[in-house]
């Protein structure tokens, strides 16, 4: 398994490690529930160095990205981030990613850890000769600082240098030790920042963050329960090459007015969807798992894609793919969990509605 530059730090902290996307990653430190609650109430730092970063430069970079991604790229302003999908010719999702416009003719894509090589190979084949492609994944480290107190803590560690960022905006920051890019997007539903910095600087910066009295480390276990409470998709669970992103997004993050690879199957799925992703809330703490079957009136009508106890709500929740005719809020199902049927109700996403992600910070 691959290791991030912070692997030794995780072992020193006594983290329970596990495989994720081919990487040996920290699953938990103090415990998933404690890390989840700390992120919701204060601020946690996550090692996300396993994710990939690509740079595209040149006069044809924008045009190439318009073809590669479902989201609108041309309207991106310098300093803005946008989420979208990269599809194959059949409309299947190669990856879901974020696109940063660094300069007029310079972009960065942030891609999932398990798809870095596949993504790079696909992109290289599609690019114009005038577009220069670079894989920055081995030279860039990434830390996610998440929680309602994230701005205060990160600004303290940066000695007052944290810029006042709007949601899905970024800026480059100079410190005494390194240059970095800081964005404000997040995967937890809380106020969150991503810090992209040189690999050589990440150990020191990790230590500085953890020295702050409000900051604790959090692993991928809490990251998953936090993202599930928000109804965010995880590649390999809600998204894959076997399906268009329509069943997950219902057309969001897809600009059907432009041309992009996989557009025809996407338009067909928009017109006649085969299934939709819904949020399910249980009346117990018995959590469903991926691939558990969903039943309506005794008939199997779908399956779970992600499920867990929602620590902030103290009940089990799940996301599931079901027939579009049964995807309305209030619809009741039964889910087979380890041989027994449990009732579940379709509810609006996100499950957790008190997140601080879009809140104005005191830096504004």
pLDDT in tens, 276-288: 999 999 999 999 9
Note the pLDDT of residue 341: 97
Contact between 333 and 325 (Cβ < 8 Å): no
Q: What does DSSP say about strands 192-198 and 81-87: parallel, antiparallel, or unpaired? A: unpaired
Strands of the chain, DSSP E: 16-20, 23-28, 43-47, 52-57, 81-87, 93-103, 106-111, 132-135, 140-146, 170-174, 179-183, 192-198, 215-217, 276-282, 293-296, 299-310, 315-322, 332-337, 340-347
21 or 159, higher pLDDT = 159
Contact between 336 and 171 (Cβ < 8 Å): no
Note the pLDDT of residue 295: 98
The Cα–Cα gap between 37 and 146 comes to: 12
Contact between 50 and 229 (Cβ < 8 Å): no
Give the per-residue SS3 of 200-214.
Answer: HHHHHHHHHHHCCCC
Residue 363 has pLDDT above 80, yes or no: no
From-to residues of CATH 3.30.1360.120 in the chain = 7-51+138-229
Residue 7 confidence class, pLDDT cut points 50, 70, 90: very high
Distant-in-sequence, close-in-space partners of 284: CB < 8 Å, separation ≥ 6: 315, 316, 342
Note the pLDDT of residue 21: 87
For residue 45, the cross-strand partners are: 145, 217
Q: What is the pLDDT of residues 308-320, one digit of tens each?
A: 999 999 999 999 9
Note the pLDDT of residue 350: 97
CA 264 remoteness from chain centre = 26
Q: How far is CA 73 from CA 95, 104, 231, 280, 316, in A?
A: 16, 11, 25, 33, 38
Residue 15 has pLDDT above 90, yes or no: yes
Fold classified for 7-51+138-229: Gyrase A; domain 2 (3.30.1360)
Distant-in-sequence, close-in-space partners of 59: CB < 8 Å, separation ≥ 6: 105, 130
Q: What superfamily does domain 53-135 belong to in CATH? A: Aminomethyltransferase beta-barrel domains (3.30.70.1400)
Over residues 104-122, mean pLDDT? 97
Contact between 24 and 174 (Cβ < 8 Å): no
Task: Count the neighbouring beta carbons within 10 Å of the beta carbon of residue 176.
Answer: 6
Q: What is the pLDDT of residues 207-220, one digit of tens each?
A: 999 999 999 999 99
Q: What is the pLDDT of residues 139-193, one digit of tens each?
A: 999 999 999 999 999 999 999 999 999 999 999 999 999 999 999 998 999 999 9
CA 54 remoteness from chain centre = 16
The Cα–Cα gap between 308 and 226 comes to: 10
Q: What is the pLDDT of residues 318-355, one digit of tens each?
A: 999 999 999 999 999 999 999 999 999 999 999 999 99
Over residues 116-132, mean pLDDT? 98
Q: What is the pLDDT of residues 219-266, one digit of tens each?
A: 999 999 999 999 999 999 999 999 999 999 999 999 999 999 999 999
The Cα–Cα gap between 364 and 360 comes to: 7
**Mean of per-residue pLDDT scores for the chain:** 97
The Cα–Cα gap between 113 and 61 comes to: 23
From-to residues of CATH 3.30.70.1400 in the chain = 53-135
Residue 364 confidence class, pLDDT cut points 50, 70, 90: low
Q: 296, 252, 258, 304: which is closest to 280 by C-alpha?
A: 304
């Amino acid at each position: 398994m691959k290791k991030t530059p912070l692997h030794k730090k995780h072992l020193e902290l006594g983290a329970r490690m596990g495989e994720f996307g081919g990487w040996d990653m920290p699953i938990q430190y103090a415990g998933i529930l404690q890390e989840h609650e700390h992120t919701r109430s204060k601020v946690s730092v996550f090692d996300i160095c396993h994710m990939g970063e690509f740079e595209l430069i040149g006069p044809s970079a924008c045009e190439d990205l318009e073809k590669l991604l479902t989201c609108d790229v041309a309207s991106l302003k310098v300093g803005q981030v946008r989420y979208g999908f990269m599809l194959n010719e059949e409309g299947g999702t190669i990856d879901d990613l974020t696109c940063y416009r660094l300069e007029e003719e310079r972009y960065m894509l942030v891609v999932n850890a398990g798809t870095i090589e596949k993504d790079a190979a696909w992109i290289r084949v599609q690019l114009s000769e005038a577009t220069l492609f670079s894989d920055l994944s081995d030279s860039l480290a990434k830390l996610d600082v998440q929680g309602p107190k994230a701005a205060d803590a990160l600004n303290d560690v940066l000695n007052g240098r944290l810029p006042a960022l709007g949601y899905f905006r970024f800026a480059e920051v100079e410190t005494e030790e390194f240059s970095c890019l800081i964005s404000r997007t997040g995967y937890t539903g809380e106020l969150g920042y991503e810090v992209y910095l040189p690999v050589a600087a990440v150990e020191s910066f990790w230590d500085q963050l953890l020295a702050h009295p409000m900051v604790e480390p959090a692993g991928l276990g809490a990251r998953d329960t936090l993202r599930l409470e928000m109804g965010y998709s995880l590649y390999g669970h809600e998204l894959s090459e076997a399906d268009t992103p329509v069943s997950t997004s219902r057309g969001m993050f897809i600009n059907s007015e432009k041309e992009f690879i996989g557009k025809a199957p996407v338009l067909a799925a928009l017109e006649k969807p085969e299934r939709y992703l819904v949020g399910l809330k249980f009346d117990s703490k018995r959590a469903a798992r991926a691939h558990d079957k969903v039943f309506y009136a005794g008939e199997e009508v779908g399956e779970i894609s992600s499920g867990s106890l929602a620590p902030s709500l103290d009940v089990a929740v799940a996301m599931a793919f079901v027939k579009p005719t049964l995807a309305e809020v209030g619809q009741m199902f039964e889910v087979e969990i380890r041989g027994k049927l449990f009732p579940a109700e379709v509810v609006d996403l996100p499950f957790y509605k008190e997140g601080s992600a879009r809140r104005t910070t005191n830096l504004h």
